[in-house]
Chains A and B, each alone.
Chain A
């Protein structure tokens, strides 16, 4: 699990940590959208420098960002290779069957590479600095207008936060169960395919059983404390925008303006 940095919060009290989760969520999506405005070296350079200036604000070691690339490394390499070999145009350096190595291909590959890395850096920034429960709160708050068309916003938000809440619990349960079955002689991740699939059964059945038991307990506990539905409830964590959020808005506006001016 140590490799899966996506979705892992690093506690801190930096400027980015203190931003409203709604701002961070919207800004991240907005950033991903405007990345596609860049279409030449100058605009990509501008975007990369801006991103590298924003990242240190989180005061999280840069290694976490690099590690965030690992899970999607295959995707990046694959996309870059496709771009290199299948884009035609510009000067052709090498040609074999369907494969063409051309200057346009190399440039396109470099652009795509930068684009993907920047997008992943920015989403890693969001997940490293925002606890998943805050993200769920942000989603709920942003979905609120949909209540007008009878969309069950609070229920969906509750399901989302319960699901997130139980991820660490289930991971914990998984490692406990794996240990218990290892102690009874199971070798996870070794042997042939059939053997490996078979070794899943002693892991998954106890997991399902405990997940259902936990769900049952949680439902009882919620009812015992008078839970009916989410409407009209007050919140423990109240979201409110601050000066930092205004600043983020300004930064995003400047980024957009810069990209529009620099692109061809």
Chain B
């Protein structure tokens, strides 16, 4: 399922003296099965952009096409459910959306809204809770008795249980411990490998380098780059000008470059760097 933005503009509180531009002339295409990262400093329009993916916001100008659904400023608020089922959205600090008496009922809430029977929804809930790495006995617990990290996982399970084709993640690992972060990122990578389209908003350049195929850079409501992570991180000065950083590996490679190492292209992942260093340092191979 492709997602296409065509000259999308969005103005907050349009028609009042408090009007503020959220998006301006944004055009891009995300193909089905892509893993796309969206980066940009705070207030650059990332979250505004995300909310267009499932019509929580409708473009003031231009069109958004998700699969065969076309959304314009005139689209009615009725009948958006099929779209919202296809595009699952994990918000920032998603644990704050939990409300049910048990984890099972909370995770089953989404599927039930989309017309799945209760038994089926509970089955999906059990599956999804297992997917996010929680033990089955949490199903009957209150979500409010869990730790913050576990609550986040329950919220993510609640979105997975909707069986979306597109998974939109708004800083899903913010505030998690390092292990939780790694496990969540691995889970998303696995879901991507299974064919889901993933859209990830993040401030972690390492995640962009390690997981994404494509990257969109937002600045002041405009799309300023639509490229691949390998391409993006060749340009450290441009990134700094847009208040963004480099992955740890690329940063390290740059310091090495200043001390005389040669790189045709700056590596963005650890394994790339290791391969290049092995080549240049020579030395014995330890099997």
Asked whether A and B interact, the reply is: yes
Which of B38-46, B84-92, B224-232 is near enough to bind chain A?
B84-92
Could you tell me if A176 and B110 are in contact, using CB atoms closer than 8 angstroms? no
Chain A CB count within 10 A is highest, among B81, B94, B99, for B99
Judge if A230 is at the interface, Cβ distance under 8 Å: no
The verdict on A206 contacting B97 (CB below 8 Å), with A2-B13, A176-B91, A185-B113 known, is yes
- Closest-by-CB residue of A relative to B94 is A180
CB < 8 Å: which of A63, A185, A187, A205 contacts B110? A185
Judge if A209 is at the interface, Cβ distance under 8 Å: yes
Whole-angstrom CA separation of A210 from B97 in the bound complex: 10
Distance in angstroms from A194 CB to nearest chain B CB is: 15
Could you tell me if A2 and B16 are in contact, using CB atoms closer than 8 angstroms? yes
Could you tell me if A206 and B98 are in contact, using CB atoms closer than 8 angstroms? yes
Could you tell me if B91 and A179 are in contact, using CB atoms closer than 8 angstroms? yes
Whole-angstrom CA separation of A186 from B162 in the bound complex: 13
Number of A-B residue pairs, CB cutoff 8 Å, is: 61
Query: Which residues in B have their C-beta under 8 angstroms from that of A180?
Result: 89, 91, 94, 96-97
CB < 8 Å: which of B56, B78, B84, B97 contacts A190? B78
Distance in angstroms from B17 CB to nearest chain A CB is: 6
Could you tell me if B96 and A184 are in contact, using CB atoms closer than 8 angstroms? no
Query: Which residues in B have their C-beta under 8 angstroms from that of A190?
Result: 78
The verdict on A184 contacting B16 (CB below 8 Å), with A176-B91, A179-B91, A206-B96 known, is no
Distance in angstroms from A19 CB to nearest chain B CB is: 22
CB < 8 Å: which of B81, B84, B109 contacts A202? B109
Judge if A61 is at the interface, Cβ distance under 8 Å: yes
Judge if A177 is at the interface, Cβ distance under 8 Å: yes
Query: Which residues in A have their C-beta under 8 angstroms from that of B16?
Result: 2
Judge if B144 is at the interface, Cβ distance under 8 Å: yes
Whole-angstrom CA separation of A183 from B16 in the bound complex: 27
Whole-angstrom CA separation of A184 from B116 in the bound complex: 13
Could you tell me if A179 and B51 are in contact, using CB atoms closer than 8 angstroms? yes
Query: Which residues in A have their C-beta under 8 angstroms from that of B66?
Result: none
Could you tell me if B162 and A185 are in contact, using CB atoms closer than 8 angstroms? yes
CB < 8 Å: which of A183, A201, A202 contacts B89? A183
Whole-angstrom CA separation of A173 from B92 in the bound complex: 12
Interface residues of B in 51-97 (CB under 8 A from A): 51, 54, 56, 78, 81, 84-85, 87-89, 91, 94, 96-97
Judge if B114 is at the interface, Cβ distance under 8 Å: yes
Chain B CB count within 10 A is highest, among A179, A185, A187, for A185
Judge if B22 is at the interface, Cβ distance under 8 Å: no
Could you tell me if B17 and A61 are in contact, using CB atoms closer than 8 angstroms? yes
Interface residues of A in 50-65 (CB under 8 A from B): 61, 63-64
Whole-angstrom CA separation of A9 from B14 in the bound complex: 18
10 cross-chain pairs, A with B, having the tightest CB-CB distances, nearest first = A185-B113, A205-B99, A180-B97, A184-B110, A183-B89, A202-B99, A180-B91, A185-B114, A179-B56, A206-B99
> A residues near B, CB below 8 A?
2, 10, 61, 63-64, 173, 176-177, 179-187, 190, 201-202, 205-206, 209-210
> B residues near A, CB below 8 A?
13, 16-17, 51, 54, 56, 78, 81, 84-85, 87-89, 91, 94, 96-99, 109-110, 113-114, 144, 158-159, 162
User: A183-B56, A184-B158, A201-B99 are known contacts; what are 7 more A-B pairs with Cβ within 8 Å?
Assistant: A180-B94, A184-B110, A184-B113, A184-B159, A185-B85, A209-B96, A209-B144
13 A-B residue pairs with CB within 8 Å: A2-B13, A63-B17, A179-B56, A180-B96, A181-B97, A182-B84, A184-B97, A184-B109, A184-B158, A185-B114, A185-B162, A201-B99, A206-B96
